[in-house]
Structures are given as structure tokens and as C-alpha cells.
């Protein structure tokens, strides 16, 4: 069954145009002009149950707007939308019982009261029975090590502690879909790892579908089997992360450390038959860049015969670089044509 | 039933957070009462210059004011959503409300309950009882029931008007000017409406029915006047239902236009 089914989804906002200067402001007072801004432009995608899907894109690409439509906060301008079998904005109150939402930038908890009291309140809001609540809370508290935090007011928690509590709060009613909008923003690496492990485990054991937006591609690498990339309101890539890497990374680099002083010319001569380029780092280290068309073993074979090598390091282009180049080129499909 | 238990939960949390700041709590109670006291003193001063106002005696006008304080106190307790536009629309807290399985208006109201305002209702009830004796009005048990019904209607009128007013934030960017305006208009409803000209009277009775919160229902218990406002008194609950339904409709429709804030 599909957890999320989106077809030709579109969201337009009319944004008031502010004319310049005092005279402009006066004109605005009497006659306003509006711009239609389309934040999400007819996107379609489907997410099956139990998948962890990353939703990435630059700031302002329309990620949050999509998430808000999927969670029933915003009403789409046009298009079809089905999440968990509901149309989110139509049966909002029934629908939200089956989803969990975490907005990294905004707290879901009550600021002044103890964490446990926020949870109790949410228990009532979501109509979770006391027994289920206890069981679930104990599991989550143990898993995320919240024990001693439960009685502190939220405003006295650190960001990492708060984010773990937010996660618990969004999971108390055992939702089958979890929406995470930048869940690791501003967290240190330890908490990030902990949250990733936790999400991974929950997905594995309970089959929770997770859709997360993030700017941290390590989140995506650690969690997601699938990535949807958004640019200017349109989907420019939808598929596996490995695919994305294979398709957009143009090659890899091998760094050699030689036993003695080695000339660039000699290296070039050794690999004459291959389409590779060399650059010297210092007298004993050199880097060879080879496109995907060239086999690593072939390249190594050529070098190994000619010079004595102390150390070899193969450097994959990392996801950050790939995504950066897609963002700056504007679209993944244009990038494809140039390859 | 569920909504009632939710209500209780929120009140408990209110108590936990607010009662820890004792001074703050008492200052709020005190400033509420001072504000009402000032209004009352104003009425008393007016009557030092004239024995009657449009055919209403001092005790009667004070009675109306006492009646008004009851629904106003109840209203202020459950509908203190003055900062709705700023807090929920501009700062985007509506996002959170909309991801929870309860009616959005109900959640917003519960997050803002302000029980100290209820003290105003008690003071109003005391004022009314004192005037009742002073005016030597007849008393029947039925009066208590009618009174409760009229109070409920008056609360609904207030609730509906302010729900509608808050819902405007969904349609317009910054409706800040309207709240103080309404606040001023509502004060007119506490005084006998026949002292105003026809236009204002019509507005207060049928368009922004603040007269139905004070003078009209209160006149049911008082001596009949020439223009007999008390004929309209039993319409109060009907008006309440109409106005509140309109407000709720405007809200439900407005929520669909909510645009969120920032990322």
C-alpha cells in the first residue's frame, strides 16, 4: 500500500508587492498589487509504506510547503493528494491521528511545563490509553535516554535534549508515517548519530514510513534509500542515493604516495594508454583523476609496474559535491545532458 | 466528553505554570478588578449630575453593568485570544495546532485560558444581587434559569464576534486596528441603548449585537420601560447561536486559507 500518493500537486501564494519608497507605500495603501508565487509546481511522487525518503533542495525550493500540504496544514491550490488513505486537509482531525510531525525549527512542546506533562497532555489530545502510553513512553525514554530530563521544563533543555523529546512527543500515538522537517538542524554529531540510529531502528522494527527534509546530506546517506530532490518547486531527481552518485559523479581520484621522488612526466608516460589526468601534490605524492569509463584496476596496474608505491587512497566524490553541482547548475536533467 | 477532559488537562497545566508566579496572578486579578471598578465609578459620576439616563435610574444602570460583567468574565476566561494574529499567524504557531487531532479553535482557546478573569463574573453577580434588593425586584426561581440562559447567549455573542475577528487574520495580513475599535464599541452595549441615536442603536442591536450582551438581557429583570427592550431579551440565546455559528463558519473557512510562516 502507498503511504503517500501525490499527483500534480501545486501551491500558489499571492504575495503583496511592496512598491519602493514612501510614495510607493502610499500607493500601496490605496491600490495593492499582488504577485502570484508558485511554491510547488505540479509535483507527483509516491512513497510506499515502510520507506525512508529524503526530501532535499535549496532554501526556498518548496520543501516545507510540500511537507505542510502533506500534513494537512496547508490546502493545496490544485492536484491530488492522499496520505495514509486520507486527503489531509479534508479529514484533518482524523488524519493527524496517524501521523507524527517534527519541525526542527519549532517546538511542539509546551515551554513552561515539565516534559512529562507535555507528554501527558498529548496523550489526552491523541486519546492514547494509559497502558499503551506507559509502555510506549518507557520504550522511547529508555531508547533515547531521557530518564532524568522528564521532569525538567522544556525551556531548560539543551537543543539536543529538546529534539529528542520532540521525537518522543511525535511518536507517542504510534503514527505510521513520520514527517521530519530538518530534524538534525543545529545538533552536534553525537546527538545526530543517535537520532539517525533511532529512526533507522524504528523503521526496521515497526515499518514506520519516514519523510524527512534536511540540508545535512549525511542524514540522507545514513537513512534514506530514496531521495527526492526539489528545485524551484519542481522535482529534479527521484531515485536511489547510489544512483544519484553514480550518475552525477563524473569520476574518482586516486592518491599515490611514492617511495621516492617521482616526475610528473614519468607518471603520464606510464598511463599513456588511459584517459586520466595527473597532478602533483608534492615531490612524493600525486593524484590521478580517472573518469568512470576507466577501471581502477587497469589504472593501478599501469602505475604499479613503473614506480614503487608506499600508499594508495581512493577518493570518491562525496554527496555534498554532487549535490552542490546540481544545485548550482539548477537542474539534474541539464546536468545529465552535459555528461 | 473528550473535549471536556482535554479542557480539564489544560486547566491543570495552566494552574501549574501560572500559580508558580503568585505575584503575577494577583496583579492580574487586581488590574482586572480595577479596570471594572473604573467603569463603575464612571457610571456613578454620571448619575451625580442627572437622576436618570434615558429613563433608567442609577441602580438600574449599575444592575445592567453587573449583568454585563458575568458574561464578560466568562468570555474573557475562555476567549482571551487578543494576540491570536501575532502569535499564531505571524509566528506560525498555527502549524502545530493544525497537526493535532482536535478542532483548531478549541485548541487555540485552551492554550490561552485565563481563569482569573472569572473573578469579574463573581463581582458582577454580587453587584447584581445588591441592585436587585435596592430596586426591590420580585424574585422567582424561574428567574435564575432565565438568567443562566441569557448569560449563555451573551457569552456566545461575544465568543462569535471575537472568533470572527480573530478569523480575519486568516484573510488579511495585519488586522491590528480592528481589535481596539471593537473594544471601544463593545463598551456602548453596557448602557441603555435608547440614549444613542437610531443609527448606533441599530448597529448595536443587529450588526455588532453588543446590546445583547448587556442592556437587552438585563432589562428582562427590570421594570418595563417605554420602548420596552425586554421584548428582545429572550432573543439573546438565538442571537448567540446565530453570531457564534457565523464566527465559527468564518473561522473554519479561514483555516483553509492559512498560509503558514517562514520555513
Nearest CA in chain A to B3: A125
Which letter, b or e, does each residue of B51-69 get, where b requires 16 or more Cβ atoms within 10 Å of its Cβ?
A: eebeebbbbbbbbbbbbbb
Cα separation of B157 and B72, whole Å? Answer: 10
User: Using a CB-CB distance cutoff of 8 angstroms, which residues of chain B are in contact with residue A110?
Assistant: 13, 17
Residue whose C-alpha is closest to residue A8's, from A55, A46, A38, A44? A44
Report the percentage of chain B scoring pLDDT > 70: 96
DSSP β-bridge partners for residue B3: none
Task: Using the predicted structure, report yes or no on whether residue A328 has a pLDDT greater than 80.
Answer: no
* Residues contacting residue B142 through CB under 8 Å, at least 6 positions apart: none
What predicted TM-score, i.e. pTM, was given to this entire model?
A: 0.83
- How do residues A35-74 score in pLDDT, each as one tens digit? 888 999 999 999 999 999 999 988 888 898 999 999 999 9
Record: contact B6-A94, CB cut-off 8 A: no
Cα separation of B38 and B32, whole Å? Answer: 10
3 state DSSP class of B182: helix
State the pLDDT confidence band at A336, using cuts at 50, 70 and 90: very low
User: Using a CB-CB distance cutoff of 8 angstroms, which residues of chain B are in contact with residue A94?
Assistant: 101
Interface test with A, best of B5, B20, B100, B173 (most A CBs within 10 A): B100
Task: Using the predicted structure, report yes or no on whether residue A334 has a pLDDT greater than 50.
Answer: no
The reported pLDDT for the residue numbered A171 is: 93
Nearest CA in chain B to A59: B263
C-alpha cell at A277: 589526468
Burial category of A236 from C-beta neighbours within 10 Å (exposed 0-12, middle 13-18, buried 19 and up): buried
- How do residues B221-241 score in pLDDT, each as one tens digit? 888 776 777 788 888 999 999
Q: Which domains does chain A carry?
A: 2-239 (3.40.50.300), 251-316 (3.30.70.1150)
Distances from the Cα of A150 to the Cαs of A139, A164, A166, B14, B21, in angstroms? 14, 11, 12, 19, 22
State the pLDDT confidence band at B263, using cuts at 50, 70 and 90: very low
State the pLDDT confidence band at A338, using cuts at 50, 70 and 90: very low
State ipTM: 0.80
Burial category of A281 from C-beta neighbours within 10 Å (exposed 0-12, middle 13-18, buried 19 and up): exposed
Is B144 a domain residue?
yes
Cα separation of A107 and A110, whole Å? Answer: 8
User: Using a CB-CB distance cutoff of 8 angstroms, which residues of chain B are in contact with residue A121?
Assistant: 9-10, 13
Record: contact A96-B95, CB cut-off 8 A: no
Assess contact for B70 and B123: CB atoms under 8 A.
Answer: no
Say yes or no: B92 contacts chain A, CB-CB below 8 A. Answer: yes
Is B160 a domain residue?
yes
- How do residues A158-216 score in pLDDT, each as one tens digit? 988 999 999 999 999 999 999 999 888 888 898 899 999 999 999 999 999 999 998 88
Q: Which domain holds residue B103?
A: 2-255
Cα separation of A118 and A128, whole Å? Answer: 14
From B17, B93, B101, residue closest to A97, measured CB to CB: B101
Split into its structural domains, chain B has a count of 1
- How do residues A85-139 score in pLDDT, each as one tens digit? 999 999 899 999 999 999 888 888 888 888 998 899 999 999 999 999 999 999 9
Task: Using the predicted structure, report yes or no on whether residue A75 has a pLDDT greater than 50.
Answer: yes
State chain B's maximal CA–CA distance in angstroms.
Answer: 64
Cα of A321 to nearest chain B Cα, Å: 24
The separation between CA A178 and the C-alpha centre of its own chain, rounded to angstroms, equals: 14
C-alpha cell at B134: 435596592
State the pLDDT confidence band at B173, using cuts at 50, 70 and 90: low
Is B262 a domain residue?
no
Record: contact A125-B99, CB cut-off 8 A: no
The separation between CA B114 and the C-alpha centre of its own chain, rounded to angstroms, equals: 13
Residue count (chain A)? 339
User: Using a CB-CB distance cutoff of 8 angstroms, which residues of chain A are in contact with residue B15?
Assistant: none
Amino acid at each position: 500500500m502507498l503511504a503517500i500518493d501525490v499527483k500534480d500537486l501545486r501551491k500558489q501564494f499571492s504575495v503583496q508587492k511592496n512598491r519602493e519608497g514612501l510614495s510607493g507605500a502610499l500607493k500601496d495603501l490605496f491600490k495593492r498589487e499582488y504577485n502570484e508565487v508558485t511554491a510547488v509546481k505540479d509535483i507527483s511522487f509516491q512513497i510506499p509504506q515502510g520507506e525512508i525518503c529524503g526530501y532535499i533542495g535549496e532554501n526556498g525550493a518548496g520543501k516545507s510547503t510540500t511537507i505542510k500540504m502533506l500534513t494537512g496544514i496547508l490546502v493545496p491550490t490544485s492536484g491530488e493528494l492522499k496520505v495514509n488513505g486520507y486527503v489531509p486537509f479534508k479529514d484533518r482531525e482524523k488524519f493527524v491521528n496517524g501521523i507524527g510531525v517534527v519541525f526542527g525549527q519549532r517546538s511542539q512542546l509546551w515551554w513552561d511545563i515539565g516534559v512529562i506533562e507535555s507528554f501527558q497532555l498529548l496523550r489526552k489530545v491523541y486519546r492514547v490509553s494509559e497502558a499503551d502510553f506507559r509502555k510506549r513512553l518507557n520504550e522511547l525514554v529508555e531508547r533515547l535516554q531521557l530518564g532524568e530530563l522528564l521532569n525538567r521544563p522544556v525551556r531548560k533543555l539543551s537543543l539536543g535534549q529538546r529534539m529528542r523529546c520532540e521525537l518522543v512527543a511525535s511518536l507517542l500515538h504510534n503514527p505510521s508515517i513520520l514527517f521530519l522537517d530538518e530534524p538534525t538542524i543545529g545538533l552536534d554529531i553525537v546527538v545526530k548519530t543517535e537520532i539517525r540510529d533511532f529512526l533507522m531502528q524504528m523503521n526496521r522494527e515497526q515499518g514506520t514510513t519516514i519523510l524527512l527534509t534536511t540540508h545535512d546530506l549525511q542524514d540522507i546517506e545514513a537513512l534514506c534509500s530514496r531521495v527526492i530532490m526539489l528545485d524551484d518547486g519542481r522535482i529534479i531527481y527521484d531515485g536511489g542515493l547510489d544512483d544519484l552518485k553514480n550518475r552525477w559523479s563524473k569520476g574518482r581520484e586516486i592518491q599515490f604516495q611514492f617511495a621516492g621522488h617521482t616526475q610528473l612526466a614519468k607518471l603520464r608516460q606510464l598511463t599513456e594508454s588511459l584517459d586520466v589526468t595527473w597532478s602533483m601534490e608534492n615531490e612524493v605524492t600525486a593524484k590521478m583523476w580517472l573518469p568512470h569509463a576507466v577501471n581502477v584496476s587497469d589504472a593501478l596496474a599501469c602505475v604499479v609496474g613503473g614506480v614503487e608505491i608506499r600508499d594508495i587512497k581512493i577518493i570518491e566524490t562525496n554527496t555534498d559535491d554532487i549535490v552542490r553541482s546540481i544545485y548550482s547548475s539548477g537542474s539534474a536533467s541539464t546536468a545529465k545532458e552535459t555528461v | 466528553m473528550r473535549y471536556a477532559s482535554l479542557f480539564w488537562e489544560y486547566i491543570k497545566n495552566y494552574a501549574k505554570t501560572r500559580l508558580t508566579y503568585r505575584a503575577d496572578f494577583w496583579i492580574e486579578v487586581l488590574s482586572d478588578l480595577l479596570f471594572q471598578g473604573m467603569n463603575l465609578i464612571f457610571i456613578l459620576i454620571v448619575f451625580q449630575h442627572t437622576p436618570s439616563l434615558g429613563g433608567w435610574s442609577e441602580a438600574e444602570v449599575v444592575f445592567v453593568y453587573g449583568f454585563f460583567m458575568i458574561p464578560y468574565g466568562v468570555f474573557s476566561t475562555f476567549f482571551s485570544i487578543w494576540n491570536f494574529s501575532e502569535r499564531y499567524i505571524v509566528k506560525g504557531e498555527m502549524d502545530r495546532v493544525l497537526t493535532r487531532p482536535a478542532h483548531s479553535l478549541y485548541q487555540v482557546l485552551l492554550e490561552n485560558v485565563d481563569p482569573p478573569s472569572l473573578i469579574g463574573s463573581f463581582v458582577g453577580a454580587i453587584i447584581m444581587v445588591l441592585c436587585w434588593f435596592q430596586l426591590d425586584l420580585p424574585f422567582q426561581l424561574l428567574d435564575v434559569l432565565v438568567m443562566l440562559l441569557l448569560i449563555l447567549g451573551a457569552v456566545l455573542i461575544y465568543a462569535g464576534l471575537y472568533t470572527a475577528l480573530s478569523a480575519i487574520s486568516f484573510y488579511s495580513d495585519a488586522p491590528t486596528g480592528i481589535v481596539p475599535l471593537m473594544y471601544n464599541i463593545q463598551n456602548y452595549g453596557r448602557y441603555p441603548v435608547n440614549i444613542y441615536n437610531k443609527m448606533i442603536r441599530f448597529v448595536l442591536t443587529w450588526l455588532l449585537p453588543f446590546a445583547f450582551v448587556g442592556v437587552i438581557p438585563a432589562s428582562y429583570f427590570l421594570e418595563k420601560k417605554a420602548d420596552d427592550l425586554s421584548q428582545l431579551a429572550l432573543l439573546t440565546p438565538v442571537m448567540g447561536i446565530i453570531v457564534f455559528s457565523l464566527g465559527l463558519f468564518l473561522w473554519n473557512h479561514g483555516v483553509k486559507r492559512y498560509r503558514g510562516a517562514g520555513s
